[in-house]
Amino acid sequence: MERRYTLLHVFTKQPDGGNPLAVMSEVDGLDDAAMQAIAHRIGLSETVFVFPPKNPAHLASIRIFTPASELPFAGHPTVGTAICLTQERIWRDKGTEFDALAVLECKGGILRVAVRPGSGTAFAEFDAPTLPYESGEAAPSDRLAAALGLAPSEIGFENFRPRRFTAGNAFTFVPVAGLTAMGRAHVVPAFWDQAFGGDSHPAAYLYCRETLQHKAGFHARAFVPGMGVPEDPATGSAAAAFAGIINLFDGPPEGVYRTVIEQGIEMGRPSEIFLEFEVKGRAIRGVRIGGYAMIVGQETVAV
């Protein structure tokens, strides 16, 4: 038996860029084990399964799976699924495209996603369901460096130091000296768990101030081998937590802070994540993640 899914490229306006996403609405009869097996077979960083919402005022309820496990929340599935379902269930029914609000239910909370049409792509932006907060101590820099194939002197820049933060999914945020070191970074399995352990899915998010695009404020890479994702081209949940890193080390003034994060370039899948957060009394009051996505087509997977 085969089941259809929609393939999207998320956090990009280019056909060969962004983070690929599978969105499956043919979910009748699928239990947890079946969904996990399908996600593993498709092999993308995330596969979304779409169910009827518990609240009829919402667009859908979604389950998010990596090739190895389920996630309560993730950024690129939120952006991609909102755009996919808005096109299929709102714009197609109305016969025209217009600014819309897609409300999705997930295990991490209620996701309110603003969707804006475009030429060949659409733009979606959502409020992070959880504000970023620190989630334990990072390992010493020499241990992190060993797990990433870098020298200890290449960990850190300016006043930025490694920290662990989460906004639904925990990451160790590792500041790296510059693009040269970022390009050499890779997973060293023998040292990985010692450096990035602390939860069920050790994950690393590397970043530096040096960028390739003038409009980008940070360059990033994400490694999540424990979830079957050796490297992720664009990581929205990490970007949401990264707001906490920026607030901690850069100390932006009160008001709204906006930046663009470039990611996926080393993988040949350039991606752009738009990050916005509000600061009041030195604390973050809200985080929004945005990006473009395009529907590539329909595919099938054997079940």
Domains of the chain listed by start with CATH number: 2-128+292-302 (3.10.310.10), 133-289 (3.10.310.10)
Task: Say whether pLDDT at 198 is over 80.
Answer: no
Which pLDDT score is estimated for 227? 87
Which pLDDT score is estimated for 158? 98
Within 10 A of 191 (CB to CB), how many other CB atoms are there? Answer: 17
Give CA–CA dist 204/147, Å, rounded: 10
Condensed to tens digits (0 to 9), the pLDDT of residues 35-88 reads 999 999 999 999 999 999 999 999 999 999 999 999 999 999 999 999 999 999
Task: Say whether pLDDT at 276 is over 70.
Answer: yes
Which pLDDT score is estimated for 202? 83
When pLDDT is averaged across residues 156-170 and rounded to a whole number, the result is 96
Task: Say whether pLDDT at 222 is over 90.
Answer: yes
Give the pLDDT band of residue 199 (cuts 50, 70, 90): low
The DSSP letter of residue 120 is S
Share of the chain above pLDDT 70, in %: 99
Which CA distances in Å does 124 have to 231, 243, 245?
A: 23, 18, 23
State phi, psi for 197 to the nearest 5 degrees. Answer: -70, 180
Residues labelled catalytic: 46
Give CA–CA dist 255/145, Å, rounded: 35
Which pLDDT score is estimated for 200? 63
Give CA–CA dist 78/102, Å, rounded: 10
Which pLDDT score is estimated for 120? 85
The DSSP letter of residue 262 is E
